[in-house]
Amino acid sequence: MRQNYGKGVAYGELDGHGVIYYTSPAFFLHALDAKTGRHIEGFGQPVPIQGFPETGVVDMLPPLLDGWGQWMDTEP
C-alpha cells in the first residue's frame, strides 16, 4: 500500500515557463504551470485512476520497484 512517503516540491523552468513539480505521498510526480496551476500538457503519461488528469503526472512507483522481483509485506 502507498503510504505517507516521498513528499516534495520544486520549481523549474521549461521552455521559458515556470513549472512547479511536486511529489505526492503516493509517489506521483505532478508538473503544474506556475501561473495557472494546471497540469503541464504533454508531461508524463496517463494514470489509469479515476480523477487523475490525462497528462501532467508520472507514476514513480513502477520504476522504483522494477527489478525487485516478488516480495510481500510482513506487517499485519
Predicted confidence band of residue 3 (pLDDT cuts 50, 70, 90): low
Q: Tell me the per-residue pLDDT of 15-34, one tens digit each, with 9 for 90 and over.
A: 899 999 999 888 889 999 99
Would you state the cell numbers that stand for residue 56, as one nine-digit string?
A: 501532467
Say if residues 22 and 10 touch (Cβ distance below 8 Å).
yes
- Is residue 14, in this structure, part of any structural domain at all? yes
Q: Quick one: residue 69, left, alpha or beta (phi over 0 = left, psi -120 to 50 = alpha)?
A: left
Is it the case that residue 64 has pLDDT exceeding 80?
no
Residue scoring higher pLDDT (55 or 34): 34
pTM of the model: 0.73
Number of domains in the chain: 1
Residue 16: inside a domain, yes or no? yes
Domain that holds residue 40: 8-62
